[in-house]
Amino acid sequence: MKILMVSSEAVPWAKTGGLADMVSALSISLAKLGHEVKIVLPRYYSINKDQLTLLPGGMGTPMGGVEEWSAVYTTEMPGTTKRNSIDVYFIDHNKYFGRDGIYGNQTETDFLDNPRRFIFFCRSAFQLCRKLDWYPDVLHAHDWPAAVVPVYLKFAERVSGSLGGFEKTVSILTIHNLGYQGIYSKDNFDYTGLGWDVYYNAGFEDFNMMNMLKAGLYSADKLSTVSPNYAEETKTQYNGFRLDGVLRYRRADYCGILNGIDNKVWNPSKDEYIPVTYSKKDLTGKAKAKEALQKEFGLPLDPKVPVIGMVTRLTDQKGVGDLFGPTYGSVWSICKDMDLQFILLGSGESWCENEIRGLASRLSNFKARIGYSEKVSHLIEAGSDFFLMPSRYEPCGLNQMYSLIYGTIPIVRRTGGLADTVENFNEKTGSGTGFMFDYLSPSSIYDTVGWAVWAWYNRRNDIEKMRKRGMSLDFSWEKSAQKYLELYEATQKTMGIVTAN
């Protein structure tokens, strides 16, 4: 199959979260299974074009009556072989992407022209195929920045009178986070160049605003999200971010496929960022990583005290209000009352960053680094004993999976993909892979961390067994990539498209 991934993020070029990891890892796995995969990304200012190859000739993209010109750069996905290489294309347009930031910056957290930037990006995905004379069987769009792709396919490209080429193409839209929908003033709709009938028919209309994700959810041939449990949750009012009705309406075409993890990058027996690699047969490397982590954060080098680690975006989704909230957050009492060390790496909302700095200056066993670091994140995954994810919602979550295979026991809220990947500790039988709670509140976080710390000091045998159980789990991408292929095929079937073989 020919598959074009349309995404605003992909590692190693642009990343704010797990979306970037998922897009590249899924593409690599599909290519390994013998499929022809290409990825298209904006050429953000931070992506060095000297390392890319410029395609000859420019590319014109119609943008509501005018044609916008861009350059197209390309390179191959690193780490792939000739047989399963992936071409990655970058749309270079100075006005839209020639600035710092993917979606925003410190002063303008959501760029005012984001609707225009990403409408342009979606439209240019089609122009790119024309330029390459390469028409995909599947257009796989990710999250709201790519959500107008299925709209164009359905209402502009697969209709009679269009320029042609996409008659046999189907579209999939994957939701990575329903909390971000791309809702903007409807004045921006004119940039799409589509008629106002499409505005209503495609489902852009949202209380007099333009909702880009909603239109994608109505228009894509099939929908998916990144865990089976999140697919169920998003159909309920509680977790549906006002789009539960749309998702219930499309339930026959909507499924959840659990993300895998890239086991070349996240693998304790190959990890280049940790002092000594390890496996479940020999955990000495894990003890060394703990020591290195304690040293890195200036904590006493004590193997006996449990280390609770966290790597996260500091945003409401991740439960940071209940953990660090200025008047009632639980971290203060956790660190005061319990014999543990708490280490955090994260960046995000400034109230939270400030709160964390304040806590770190007053608590001797709480250390934090505000910022982004691939290396430190690996060290935290390897060197911690427990990994905390008290998420308000979590479509899939990658860090709990990294934790499990690194022998670091997750402490998580039972939500989204966390519920699909972690099994709660059973005190009677000793079974389970982590510690879980349901209701998000400062006291539940306090109690559950307390439970884990109690088990650390009193149920050492169970803890060691849980570690090993986690390390034996298989979160490789192969299984998930196979499910995406089945989804692609099912979509072709639903759309009545017959392929050559």
Considering the complex, state which of residue 106 and residue 284 has its C-beta at the smaller distance from ligand ADP.
106
Nearest residue to the partner ligand ADP, using Cβ: 18
Selected from 1, 2, 17, 476, the binder of ligand GLC by CB under 6 A is 17
178 scored as a contact of ligand ADP (CB under 6 A): no
Angle formed by the axes of helices 114-132 and 212-219, nearest 10°:
40
Residue 372 interacts, among ligand ADP, ligand GLC, none and using kind-specific CB cut-offs from 5 to 8 Å, with: ligand ADP
273 scored as a contact of ligand ADP (CB under 6 A): no
239 scored as a contact of ligand ADP (CB under 6 A): no
- From CA 304, how far away is CA 301, in angstroms rounded? 9
Considering the complex, state which of residue 329 and residue 397 has its C-beta at the smaller distance from ligand GLC.
397
- From CA 263, how far away is CA 136, in angstroms rounded? 28
397 scored as a contact of ligand GLC (CB under 6 A): yes
Q: How many residues bind ligand ADP (CB under 6 A)?
A: 18
480 scored as a contact of ligand GLC (CB under 6 A): no
64 scored as a contact of ligand ADP (CB under 6 A): no
319 scored as a contact of ligand ADP (CB under 6 A): no
Q: Quick check: bond before 12 cis, omega within 30?
A: yes
Alpha helices in 369-441 (DSSP H): 374-383, 399-405, 416-421
Q: Which two tokens stand for residue 47?
A: 């992506």
Considering the complex, state which of residue 134 and residue 241 has its C-beta at the smaller distance from ligand GLC.
241
226 scored as a contact of ligand GLC (CB under 6 A): yes
Residue 436: burial class (beta carbons within 10 Å; 0-12, 13-18, 19+): buried
Residue 313 interacts, among ligand ADP, ligand GLC, none and using kind-specific CB cut-offs from 5 to 8 Å, with: ligand ADP
* CA proximity to 158, closest of 132, 133, 137, 128: 137
260 scored as a contact of ligand GLC (CB under 6 A): no
Q: Which two tokens stand for residue 376?
A: 């430190």
DSSP summary character for residue 50: G
- From CA 51, how far away is CA 239, in angstroms rounded? 42
399 scored as a contact of ligand ADP (CB under 6 A): yes
241 scored as a contact of ligand ADP (CB under 6 A): no
- From CA 149, how far away is CA 445, in angstroms rounded? 40
User: Phi, psi (5° rounding) for residue 188?
Assistant: -65, -15
CB of 50 to ligand ADP, least distance (A): 25
346 scored as a contact of ligand GLC (CB under 6 A): no
Q: Which helix (H) or strand (E) element contains residue 91?
A: strand 87-92
State the first-to-last Cα distance of the chain, in angstroms, to the nearest integer: 10
Selected from 153, 307, 320, 398, the binder of ligand GLC by CB under 6 A is 398
CB of 347 to ligand GLC, least distance (A): 15
CB of 481 to ligand ADP, least distance (A): 17
119 scored as a contact of ligand GLC (CB under 6 A): no
Mask for 9-48, x = binds ligand ADP (CB under 6 A): --------xxx-x---------------------------
CA distances from 201 to 154, 169, 193, 215, 218 (A): 11, 20, 15, 9, 9
User: Phi, psi (5° rounding) for residue 155?
Assistant: -100, -10
346-385 residues near ligand ADP, rule: CB under 6 A: 346-347, 372-374, 377
b/e 120-141 (16+ beta carbons within 10 angstroms → b): bbbbbbbbbbebbeebbbbbbb
Considering the complex, state which of residue 153 and residue 398 has its C-beta at the smaller distance from ligand GLC.
398
Q: Which positions lie near ligand ADP, rule CB under 6 A?
A: 17-19, 21, 311-313, 345-347, 372-374, 377, 396-399
Q: Which positions lie near ligand GLC, rule CB under 6 A?
A: 17-19, 22, 176-177, 226, 259, 394-398, 417
